Amino acid sequence: MSNNIRVGILGATGAVGQRFVELLQGHPWFTVTALAASERSAGKPYAEAATWRLDTPMPESVKGQVVQPCVPGLPCDLVFSGLDSSVAGPIENTFASAGYAVISNSKNHRMDQDVPLVIPEVNPDHTAIIPHQQKQRGFDRGFIATNPNCSTIGLTLALKPLADHFGLRTVMVTTMQALSGAGYPGVPSLEILDNVLPYIDDEEDKMERESLKLLGVCDGTGFKPASMAISAQCNRVHVQDGHMECVSVALEKRADTQDVIEVLRSFTALPQELDLPFAPRRPIIVRDEPDRPQPRFDRNVEQGMAVSVGRVRPCPVLDFKCVILSHNTIRGAAGAAILNAELLQAQGYLKRDR
Ligand code: NAP
């Protein structure tokens, strides 16, 4: 399919920005032609501006690229945004207004009534709101599309086939979220060593609101949220990468544990059908062992783009319960945005040669 779409990264020096740099190396369609961050970094070569914190080495091709300020004029067709949420809202709007496709990880526009919040396996049709957004905001060819919060992605991806087959009545979720989800330097070591923090700012609200938008309906001019009841409790734990979630679910239709497992295991969706480069072959991996998934062993399955589900069993209060694990900075952030961009390209929303 298409190649040579020039992409920029806003917030390229941050935790999510570095994942974008890493994951976009060798991408068959996208070439990184611009790196941008704050005034603190602008003007410096990337190798000097970014303190690289990933396990893989910094790619040679970006080391000498000079970091630009986050203002339109960047030599690219679309921008991925890993900007700090204190600044992302207006900067993303300015880029969309200047004609860029903005594919964002930040929370600022996720719940806007004219902005798609997308997981390509869950609600690829929600991108149909884009022409309405462009009309409403006076954007010519630019637009904003977002991916959900890292903990919402794992949950909602695993819930999607169950929503389709059985309907969802109630979802109760308790998370154990990795430290990398808080960016760098994140949580002070003396707060998290030998400890669990039972509070992550705004996280429970995000999980509850975003999952309803994702599983809801887009009519081309707005969104009708799904009607299930959902309650989230979010905790920070002493794990580097990989968000784990203990989930109990009540379904609309009766299903036994084997039915649930079968529906999860056989799930594929549009990204797999379109064979998008970042689509995992199997979006949901069901584990049969009693002690899996575990962050250290399972977060990188399918290059970090699949969700692992284990311990599927009856729940004495609701219908069944299980454990979900997903990589928070790959499937939950940069990888999610790249898959969104691939979907938008396949759907014809990306324009070249601005
Ligand atoms: P981070 O490590 O703190 O990086 C923030 C980035 O924003 C840096 O590149 C920083 O540039 C840039 N920035 C800060 N102030 C700026 C300004 N005034 N103008 C332009 N650029 C500015 O944060 P992160 O963990 O990567 O998170 C980035 C976003 O993704 C957040 O909105 C976060 O909520 C979201 N997110 C994170 C995760 C995760 O797992 N970490 C998952 C999903 C979503 P400098 O280096 O120059 O300061």
Cα separation of 272 and 277, whole Å? 9
The verdict on 235 and 316 lying in the same domain is: yes
Q: Does residue 303 lie within any of the structural domains? A: yes
Over residues 170-195, mean pLDDT: 95
Same domain, residue pair 131 and 225:
no
Ligand 1 lined by 67 (C-beta under 6 Å): no
Strand ranges for the chain from DSSP E: 5-10, 30-37, 68-69, 78-81, 101-104, 143-146, 168-177, 217-218, 223-224, 229-236, 243-251, 284-286, 307-314, 320-326
Domain with 262, as residue range(s), is: 150-327
Q: Tell me if 351 is assigned to some domain.
A: no
Clarify whether residues 156 and 224 are in a common domain: yes
Q: Are residues 118 and 174 both part of a single domain?
A: no
The verdict on 136 and 166 lying in the same domain is no
Distance 217 CA to ligand 1 centre (A): 30
Which residue minimizes the CA distance to atom 2 of ligand 1? 14
Q: Are residues 172 and 315 in the same domain?
A: yes
Catalytic residue ranges: 150, 243
Same domain? 170 vs 315: yes
In a domain, 283, yes or no: yes
Report the alpha-carbon distance of residue 94 to residue 103 in Å, rounded: 13
For residue 39, being part of any structural domain is answered with yes
Same domain, 115 and 170: no
Q: Kindly state whether residue 253 falls inside one of the protein's structural domains.
A: yes
Q: Mean pLDDT, to the nearest integer, of 194-215?
A: 98
Ligand 1 pocket test target in 51, 74, 83 with most atoms within 8 Å of CB: 83
Q: How many domains does the chain fold into?
A: 2
Kindly report, residue by residue over 225-240, the tens digit of the pLDDT. 999 999 999 999 999 9
For residue 42, the ligand 1 atom closest to its alpha carbon is 47
**Is it true that the peptide bond before 185 is cis, omega within 30 degrees of 0?**
yes
- What's the pLDDT score for residue 165? 98
Q: Are residues 59 and 207 in the same domain?
A: no
Does residue 353 lie in a domain region? no
CATH classification of the domain holding 42: 3.40.50.720
Residue 223 lies in a domain: yes
- Averaged confidence pLDDT in the chain: 97
Residues 226 and 338 in one domain: no
User: 177 and 298, same structural domain?
Assistant: yes
Mean pLDDT, to the nearest integer, of 204-223?
98
Closest by CA position to 206, among listed 245, 147, 144, 152: 152
Residue 353 has pLDDT above 80, yes or no: no
CATH number for 278: 3.30.360.10
Q: Are residues 160 and 91 in the same domain?
A: no
Report yes or no on 302 lying in a domain.
yes
Distance CA 163, CA 102 (A): 29
- Could you tell me the pLDDT band of residue 315, with boundaries at 50, 70 and 90? very high
